[in-house]
Amino acid sequence: MKIELIYRIFKKFCSISGISPSFSSDGEDYIISKYFMKFEGGVYIDIGANHPVKHSNTFQLYLTGWSGLCVDPIPIFRRSYKYLRPRDTFVNAGLTSKNHDHRLQFYYYRDYPDNSTFDPRRVEALKAKFGREPSSTQDVKAISVDYLIDGYLKNIKPDLDIQFLNLDTEGLELEIILAFFHKKIFPWMICVEDLGTSIYNLHSSDIHEVMSKNGYEIIAKTFLSSIYFRNEMLPKLPSPFIKELLT
């Protein structure tokens, strides 16, 4: 039985029971799905994708027919994506803004895999705040944003018009966003983990400043994520919820 059919049955059960299913950590996929409701054939890039279902901001989109690139350096997820999300292309590598491929030191947290990172500053912060230390460190393959675009993305979306970009790289989000913008790729919506920010101090975030300068507006802030949208794309969305935002 295909996972989409299982999900439809599960969703019907939830509807009858008054339960609202979400796969994201903090309900991000509720917001994302409201914007993209009834939008067919969308393409996403999920960087730092981690598990294909648990805490995923793109699995809800996958179940409605979307597909795209899922990038993560943890090799144990390769098989999970093959069986649970076969339409997606899983890229088992880290991502770097540098213009050449190389290897990076990867700090892996076995008990908290979503904390795994390439950023030594994040390692120090996790130790200081939570007493967490990586269970292992290893050199892993890292590919450039250029290679991800030219070697993978152009094969599935030649016009490079991407509807959704999800970024959760434990500290390297800003440099990756800048690399995409440098390549003139401006996804309609971007959900980015912006650690240490809240709705009250968001204006002081470097990520927020870069997003604002490039035509994005903040549409939602969850515990860890900031969600931005290019408002000129609103008329292209068939979602009935968008009518509230159009003047």
Tell me the pLDDT tens digit for each residue of 9-24.
Answer: 766 766 676 666 788 9
Quote the pLDDT of residue 134.
80
Asked whether residue 143 is domain-assigned, the answer is: no
- Confidence grade of residue 34 (pLDDT, cut at 50, 70, 90): very high
- β-pairing verdict for 225-229 and 217-221: antiparallel
Phi-psi region of 215 (alpha: psi -120 to 50; beta: other; left: phi over 0): left
Residue 100 has pLDDT above 70, yes or no: no
Quote the pLDDT of residue 116.
79
Using CA of residue 81, residue 85, residue 86, residue 88, what is the dihedral sign?
negative
Quote the pLDDT of residue 154.
94
CB 16: neighbour CB atoms within 10 A? Answer: 8
- Which tokens go with 41? 């054939």
- β-pairing verdict for 67-71 and 89-91: parallel
Asked whether residue 148 is domain-assigned, the answer is: no
Q: What is the CATH number of the domain that holds 200?
A: 3.40.50.150
Residue 171 DSSP code: S
Asked whether residue 66 is domain-assigned, the answer is: yes
Average confidence (pLDDT) over 35-44:
96
pLDDT digits (tens, 9 = 90+) for 109-166: 878 777 777 778 888 888 888 888 888 787 777 889 999 999 999 999 999 999 999 9
pLDDT digits (tens, 9 = 90+) for 62-95: 999 999 999 998 888 899 999 999 999 999 988 8
Asked whether residue 151 is domain-assigned, the answer is: no
Residue 208 has pLDDT above 90, yes or no: yes
Could you give the CA distance from residue 105 to residue 97 in angstroms, rounded to a whole number? 15
Residue 36 has pLDDT above 90, yes or no: yes
Residue for token pair 């002081």: 204
Q: What angle do CA 14, 229, 90 make, to 5 degrees?
A: 65
- Which tokens go with 49? 């994708």
Asked whether residue 240 is domain-assigned, the answer is: yes
Residue type, 211: M
Quote the pLDDT of residue 18.
64
Q: Which residues contact 38 (CB under 8 A, 6 or more apart)?
A: 238, 239, 240
pLDDT digits (tens, 9 = 90+) for 159-201: 999 999 999 987 789 999 999 999 999 999 999 999 888 888 9
**Nearest to 241, CA basis, from 19, 62, 31:** 31
Asked whether residue 110 is domain-assigned, the answer is: no
* pTM assigned to the model: 0.86
Asked whether residue 154 is domain-assigned, the answer is: no
Quote the pLDDT of residue 101.
58
Range of the domain at 224: 26-96+161-244
Asked whether residue 145 is domain-assigned, the answer is: no
Could you give the CA distance from residue 229 to residue 203 in angstroms, rounded to a whole number? 16
Q: Which residue has the higher pLDDT, 55 or 170?
A: 55
- C-alpha distances in Å from residue 1, one per residue of 6, 60, 174, 183, 207: 7, 18, 40, 40, 42
Give how many domains the chain has, as a whole number. Answer: 1
Residue 187 DSSP code: -
- Which tokens go with 164? 């959704």
